[in-house]
Chains A and B, each alone.
Chain A
């Protein structure tokens, strides 16, 4: 069903408009997108297999590095699963600290997303402002945990660091500053006509589609699906916190913006509540080295949606199977649906609206010659020939005509 005027444009995996590696093959007629297909897997690093060969504590650090912005989500979800298998009862203070870092991470991620969305629609000033505020959050996280991203806060059995009262005061001061600025962003998001016009009607995903395609997180909540793991399946301290689940029935990118900005306000409320109600007590319980045989499924509301971890242990100190399903994998299949019948210029903002994080999504294998450590230097000409062979074999596209033109300059 290819019209003669249809042009196929490959989009990605390296492209200035995409902030993450994914490849779309879109069929264009003029400026309208008639079909699109998505290919992911470029960030596959073999983490699930690597987890099976490391102890649980080593795995915790590995899982944390799946992604920079959702690192605490993955680490907490994994720790929760292992603690459930081992039957450990985590002290309340540790649960509260976990929630605090989780909410600060959510603030960080949503501010980052606001900036990225602003950049994708050409609103660079919003990018500069929100990323300036992001510095405030990262400074606070550096104060609490020692690192701006990838906070090593969790351990199997609790948390590793405590929050002193002076740190708590700093956090509250920062939250006050951020709340002021977020109110300004809410004003922009809800009253600025250009943004409303640009984002409305773009990337529409109806409620029925959201449920049937399995969307999670703010992507689903903006289509009216009130799913939030913090409310539905409470973990850590969320059972005792008082917050609203923000939904919107706009079903488009504008709705997703509004949902994320209002979630920021809820997060500030929760951070204040956590700091006020934090109970005294120990920080960890002793976790055994050999986790008894069993299995557990744990879920966590990462900034991008529902993060699902499944761990199976077999009584040794290394897990039998670790499965991570990151939220972006559930959301990316909705992108093809969202792009139907839209214009090419909407592509970046639609993809950015699901807040893609492909480091979380693909976790596949890269083999290194760990024994001898020698690497091959492949000269440019050989690489050129190899790439032509690859495309011929795997994609059915023949670029050998190119080869003839360049043969003289490469002297193949």
Chain B
């Protein structure tokens, strides 16, 4: 019981994910700043930004469907946080695994994009609606390549269980060569999923 609680809350659970996300954001911003001949933010910047954003006022467009509008971000966070239950982080065995959890994880990771669309649509503001429609359009572009590359590696490992896939590849390290193309495609699709430049049209200024 204690073990499960520790795994879920601390490591490799929510606290670890939170810290890791902040660290990843820092590396991303520092690297892009140095590439642009700038200095970049100090190491605690993402944490400072997080604290600042917590203190901001929640603006609700008056015509918006309040419940859906408030619920969507919660749904997005929950879905992506839940998916870590099935992703092996520290060992080849994830916290929980069952046959077919590759599909479940991919599905859970698609939910945030759908919530962007629903949240934007239900906010009844022209600008958000345009962004929502754009994010859904982008979804069609990158989802299929992402799915295909991940499922291809699953096929090679002959299993639909993420933990078993990880076990397979740790036993046969040479097989990374077959997945090289898939990996590159998945990396680019990931940029689209995270709405990073140049795929940041939904949050672009027009």
Contact = CB atoms under 8 A, between A and B. Distances in A.
A–B contact at 8 Å CB threshold (below)? yes
Interface of A: 7, 9, 15-17, 28, 31, 122, 124-125, 128-129, 132, 344-345, 347-348, 402, 405-406
Interface string B13-37: 0000000000000000000000111
B62 A345 contact: no
Contact of B206 (A124, A347, A402, A405): A347
Contacts of B206: 17, 344-345, 347-348
Contacts, number: 35
Contact of A128 (B36, B126, B130, B197): B36
Given A9-B127, A128-B36, A402 B205 contact: no
Q: Select the residue from B36, B198, B200, B201 with max chain A CB neighbours within 10 A.
A: B36
A28 B130 CA distance: 10
B38 interface: yes
B204 interface: yes
B205 A128 contact: no
Interface string B63-105: 0000000000000000000000000000000000000000000
A201 B35 CA distance: 30
Nearest to A7: B126
B52 to A, nearest CB: 19
A129 B37 contact: yes
A132 B33 CA distance: 13
Question: How big is the B interface, by class?
Answer: 10 to 19
A28 B133 CA distance: 14
B205 A16 contact: yes
Contacts of A347: 206
A405 B61 CA distance: 11
Given A16-B205, A345-B204, A406-B62, 20 more contacts: A9-B126, A15-B205, A31-B130, A122-B197, A122-B198, A122-B200, A122-B204, A124-B36, A125-B36, A128-B36, A128-B38, A129-B36, A129-B37, A132-B37, A344-B206, A345-B206, A347-B206, A348-B206, A402-B62, A405-B62
A344 B201 CA distance: 11
A125 B34 CA distance: 10
Nearest to A18: B205
A366 to B, nearest CB: 29
A361 to B, nearest CB: 22
A405 B66 CA distance: 13
Nearest to B197: A122
Nearest to A119: B205
A406 B127 CA distance: 22
A129 B127 CA distance: 31
Nearest to A16: B205
Interface string B116-152: 0000000000110010000000000000000000000
Contact of B130 (A16, A17, A344, A405): A344
Contact of A125 (B35, B198, B200, B204): B35
Nearest to A127: B36
Contacts of B35: 125
27 contacts: A7-B126, A9-B126, A9-B127, A9-B130, A15-B205, A16-B205, A28-B130, A122-B197, A122-B198, A122-B200, A124-B36, A124-B197, A125-B35, A125-B36, A128-B37, A128-B38, A129-B37, A344-B130, A344-B206, A345-B201, A345-B204, A347-B206, A348-B205, A348-B206, A402-B62, A405-B62, A406-B62
